[in-house]
Structure 1
Amino acid sequence: MSSSHGEKRPKGGGKFTLCSSVVAKCGTESKNLCRNRLYEYDDDETWNDVLHDVLEGEDFTLHKTDTVNAVVADKLMGTITFTPDMEEPIRIVKEFDQTLKSVNRDKDVHCDVTFRVGKEGKLVHVHKYVLASRSPVFDAMLYGDLAESDDIIVPDIEPSSFDALLRYLYCDDISFTPDTVTSVLYAADKYGVDDLVTKIKSYLDQNITNETVLTVLESAKLFNLEDLLQKCEDFIASDPFPVLQSSSALEITKETLTYIISLDSLVMDELDIYHFLIKWTENQCDKVGIEKTDPNIRAMMGDLIYLIRFPFMNLESFAKDVCNRDILNAQEKLNLQQVIVGNLDKTSTKFKFEKRICKTFCVLPGESPRYMGVWSYRRNLEDCIEFT
């Protein structure tokens, strides 16, 4: 069967949800095969597949001379009525901007549920059908046995991230920035929007750079993305200097910093790690308005200081660059000095004694201020190449 002149046809490609309303005509008899169900198809399936699903369980036979009109409603984009060629592949595409305009979400036209989003409880008006058709969590929340009748409170997602989720639910528009990607991923995961979760994971996986890896790492830890977490770990451990000098490095959480400086594979001198820990802690002091004195810095560091492997510093560097400040107390300095020269058992201190071991062939740190894939040396360290 071919399309009638002047009738709109599906166009484009991709997966879509079909709220089917199909009218079949046998001679003068018409049969409305409308189903209050949602069907999902790939664009290479045919309209025969649609008809087969719609006719399931119906005592109705189609003949060669019969016609079938399909009314397709795609996410409230409006209806398209046409006489489909049964052998032709389905090709329906969402017209993103027109979709959003047609449902008039921004103008609250025909909205039937309200969310109070973020700490301030911003009012967001939406359509139940759209949300329920895209998310099993929203479906249960809005149409299930325990469906909520009052405004729905969402205190753990900021309005900008919730809006990004809605844009995807309404029109498949993916909208986030490196600063909001984590919160949008959280929202998608919370409401079971699995295809958006998959797309954000893919984005994160393909956009690991010195500037973004720390944000990606925090997302991977938050959502238990083991493969992505390992990729971030390897990226940071192999060349940590440019990462820790990035604009976002001083803004990472204490948990993320703990994870990084705990890495046995971190290719970085302990003194450099110690200096970065001081810079990060000074930034934390600035945030809470605390004077950046050595005692305050030590208090703000807490147990992070014990992750610095001071016993692997040489005595000259330790005396010059660590003992010149009062971040360590006098007894800790004395004990560590004695451990470094081998006069005190390591069990007498809380500091870590496990040596960092590179996962790959590497040259230990040298004169260059950062590791840039070059062989170099530092005069106050023994010359060595380590294979693991």
Structure 2
Amino acid sequence: MYAPNKEPDTIRVPSVLAPVKNFSDFLNRQMELLHSRNNHHADFVLRSSDGHKFPVHRFQLAAHSPVFAAMLSHDVREKRTSRCDLIDVDKETVEILLDYLYAFNTARINGTNAEKALAMADKYEIMDLCSICEGILIKSLAVENVVRRFIMAHQRGLKILKEVALRLMRQNIDVIGEDSVLQTAIQSEPALLQIIMGCFPK
């Protein structure tokens, strides 16, 4: 029988559910959960191209990526098997992905691996991560990588990277004109030639 004057029982909150002091604490807890060796809460596995398996949570994938959200909402092999084989994403790039999904951590991304990270983020439509990678690629542009990054920017519609790369190409046109990567790209996509010609002085 309901007793209106009775004090409610005190509910003890387990330490794992204690109030989060700030957003940073929350993100740290998510990373601890991700890296726990006994991660019984994970309900999905990502497998990198080099065979490494990463236990993850469907919610995190779907919350950040429309591609994963669609995958996990339809009757496809990945949903049935609770596993997705990332055939073109290596271990390092999967780690970059998970650092971002769980804690918005981009510390692993640098001028060396940003191209792979951007390709992965673009494929799975994680647009904020794409923008971060694009910024890193712009900051680390150099004569030796500008052609490759220009082509990537052209193919993926990265306007800012493309503009900055074109500017650097114009400044180093004598070297760029002999780049074999550029010559091969023009052969496969002739429309690039018109864009490149804009680099030459009138």
TM-score (norm 1): 0.39
Alignment of 1:199-210 (within 5 A): 199-210=132-143
Task: Indicate the structure whose relative CO is greater, using CA pairs within 8 Å and at least 6 residues apart.
Answer: 2
> 2:44, 2:161 → 1: CA distance?
36
Q: Is the 8 A contact 2:109 2:133 kept in 1?
A: no
**Could you give the per-residue CA deviations for residues 152-182 of structure 1, whole angstroms, max 9, x where no partner exists?**
2221222221221111111111122333212
Tell me the matched-pair count.
Answer: 184
User: Which segment is superposed worse, 126-135 or 100-109?
Assistant: 100-109
What is the DSSP-based 3-state SS (H/G/I as helix, E as strand, rest coil) of the residue aligned with 1:156?
coil
Match of 1:182 in 2: 115
Distance 1:256 1:93, change over 3 A: farther
Task: List gaps (5 residues or longer) in structure 1.
Answer: 1-27, 31-70, 72-77, 83-90, 267-356, 359-387
**Which of 157, 170, 176 does residue 89 from structure 2 map onto?**
157
Provide the aligned C-alpha RMSD in A: 3.7
**Which of 41, 55, 58 does residue 128 from structure 1 map onto?**
58
> 1:224, 1:230 → 2: CA distance?
11
> 2:183, 2:37 → 1: CA distance?
39
What is the DSSP-based 3-state SS (H/G/I as helix, E as strand, rest coil) of the residue aligned with 1:205?
helix
**Which of 115, 119, 125 does residue 192 from structure 1 map onto?**
125
Amino acid at match of 1:202: G
- Work out which of the two has the higher radius of gyration on C-alpha atoms and give 1 or 2: 1
What is the DSSP-based 3-state SS (H/G/I as helix, E as strand, rest coil) of the residue aligned with 1:208?
coil
Alignment of 1:369-380 (within 5 A): none
> 1:257, 1:234 → 2: CA distance?
22
Amino acid at match of 1:184: A
**Which of 172, 184, 188 does residue 254 from structure 1 map onto?**
184
Match of 2:75 in 1: 146
Q: Is the 8 A contact 1:178 1:215 kept in 2?
A: no
Task: Give the superposition deviation at 1:253.
Answer: 8.2
Q: Is the 8 A contact 2:31 2:99 kept in 1?
A: no
**What is the percentage of aligned positions where both structures have the same residue?**
20
Q: Is the 8 A contact 1:140 1:146 kept in 2?
A: no
> 1:232, 1:257 → 2: CA distance?
20
Distance 1:232 1:108, change over 3 A: farther
Match of 2:3 in 1: none
> 1:235, 1:155 → 2: CA distance?
33
> 1:252, 1:180 → 2: CA distance?
21
Which structure is higher in helix share? 2
